[in-house]
């Protein structure tokens, strides 16, 4: 896997559907309880919908009640970048794919052990590969 995925905005628009483009490249958010993975319970791996980089494992997924897929930690070796987000009159920590820069969601300090973190991720930012 290449270390980085440089693409122009035009290329991203061509490969992503409009909803995925809005979330991954424009930092949008899908409505709670509407994404395809918020209630996914099968074992498997979650990858970046923009570049395929490994991000989360189902073993770290938990029911947060938020309506978005929530994980207490990234997958081993996952590259997740964090950025201060002051949009919408709030101070939050945005998480993005460390490989292609796609917006994933936010991380909050109210998750379960062992980390105490809640990675609240948009389903549109993820591709799920169930274990066989």
CA-wise closest residue to 79 among 62, 102, 61, 112 = 102
Looking at 48, 51, 97, 120, which residue is catalytic? 120
* Tokens standing for residue 75: 């997958």
3-class DSSP assignment, residue 33: coil
**Which H or E element spans position 47?**
strand 44-48
Phi-psi sector, 128: left (phi>0), alpha (psi -120 to 50), beta: beta
* Count of C-beta atoms within a 10 Å radius of residue 10: 7
- Residue 120 designated active-site: yes
> For the chain, how big is the Rg over CA atoms in Å?
14
Maximal C-alpha separation, the chain: 44
Catalytic residues: 120
């Amino acid at each position: 896997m290449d270390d980085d995925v440089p693409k122009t905005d035009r290329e991203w628009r061509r490969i992503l559907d409009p909803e995925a483009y809005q979330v991954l490249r424009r930092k949008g958010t899908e409505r709670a309880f509407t994404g395809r993975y918020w209630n996914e319970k099968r074992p498997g791996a979650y990858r970046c919908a923009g570049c395929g980089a490994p991000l989360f494992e189902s073993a770290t997924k938990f029911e947060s009640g938020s309506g978005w897929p929530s994980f207490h930690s990234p997958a081993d070796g996952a590259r997740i970048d964090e950025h201060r987000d002051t949009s919408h009159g709030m101070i939050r920590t945005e998480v993005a794919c460390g490989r292609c820069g796609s917006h994933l969601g936010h991380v909050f300090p109210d998750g379960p052990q062992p980390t105490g973190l809640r990675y609240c991720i948009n389903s549109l930012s993820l591709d799920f590969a169930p274990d066989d």
